[in-house]
Amino acid sequence: MIPYGRQEITQDDIDAVVEVMRSDFITQGPMVPKFEQAVADYCGAQYAVAVSSGTAALHTACLAMDLGPGDWLWTSPITFVASANCGLYCGAQVDFVDVDPRTHNISVAALAAKLEHSESRGVLPKVVVPVHFAGQSCDMREIHALADQYGFRVLEDASHGLGGRYLDAQVGSCRYSDAAVFSFHPVKSITTGEGGMIVTNDERLAETARRMRTHGITRDPTSMVNESSGPWYYEQIALGFNYRITDIQAALGISQLQRLDSYVAKRHEIAECYDAALHALPLELPHRLEGVYSSMHLYVVRLNSRQIKQSHKEVFEALRERGVGVNLHYIPVPSQPFYRALGFSLEDYPNAARYYGEALTLPMYPTLTEEHQETVVTELRRILV
Ligand SMILES: *Cc1c(COP(=O)(O)O)cnc(C)c1O
């Protein structure tokens, strides 16, 4: 089966990991701050805080934004469940704003309308989490303008977006947001096995995130409640977690980061081949926004159902049977049983619902061979024509 995504691990990666394993520190050593600095420099952000997963990064960032009971977090229905769960972890309430039907990013028009309506009812969100779907940045300038107008904080779920650009800055520069998070799961731009990172230009937010990833403990005398009673002394001043990443993982991340730009370039080459080979089929191909350079995390097509005899499910199954590991990103979060039990319903998000009935994620990763890509195209043609 040709997978929809996969990592590449080189000998350099393995050497970097082995070197750490032979060193004095396999966690909380020098590699984690080195990885953080490398990602901050790459993105053009001032601070970076590495954690154990993208999900941990979302949770920690929400905690650092002081999200809690009585607060609201809004995000997109077309995302991985973690973008919404992070709000519930903090005891806040979650709501969704429908997607733009072309980009599948949160619709700025729907967001503006919902904010206006919510203001009149006095229930504005504290945090909005735009998700850079498939690696294409949301319109951050517009979202930032709304944040200024309504006073919410912006947390970019950039799990798909590392290596992409928005206008003249890297995704993660946080020029138009309070913070952004990345995931280093093996299908993402670069991997550490499991891992995540928060980037921000807000020193206090970074400091709080650093404390919350390690139990809410501080060793900084200026943050302590009491005076230090000796060199052993530390204080727990909030309820945090163990969300630390290891030096082993950080070494892998540093090594992978050196290939990030070439990976994204390769993904664009693959996307151009798909564009050229698929444009005549009854498919809607990915829409590219001007001023945005996608990291091309996913290549998602939509079936033009009126021109296709088979159902969405039949096309999906036929491709899987022929060894093409298509996927569906994502089952809309409000339709998950857990969210339904909270009162959500997919019918309230018509663009997300329509998308879910038509979308197919095709294989896309830097080491996808020409031959495998040819197979994907041939099988799609055979099924659809
Ligand atoms: C992968 C992903 C996450 C979660 O990242 P993990 O590292 O798997 O915890 C969150 N949001 C989105 C949009 C993702 O794609």
Q: Mean of the pLDDT values across residues 297-321?
A: 96
* 86 CA to centre of ligand 1 in angstroms: 11
pLDDT exceeds cutoff 90 at 216: yes
To test ligand 1's pocket by mutation, which of 171, 185, 295 has the most ligand atoms within 8 angstroms of CB? 185
Q: pTM for the complete prediction?
A: 0.98
List pocket residues of ligand 1, CB cut-off 6 Å. 53-55, 79-80, 82-83, 131, 157, 159-160, 183, 185, 196
Q: What is residue 280's predicted lDDT score, i.e. its pLDDT?
A: 95
Residue type at position 115: L
The pick from 55, 99, 156, 333 for probing ligand 1's pocket by mutation, whose C-beta has the most ligand atoms within 8 angstroms, reads 55
Q: Average pLDDT of 81-96?
A: 98
Q: Return the pLDDT at 385.
A: 87
Closest atom of ligand 1 to 188 CA is 1
The pLDDT assigned to 231 comes to 93
pLDDT band at residue 365 under the 50/70/90 scheme:
very high
Pair 300, 355: CB distance under 8 Å: no
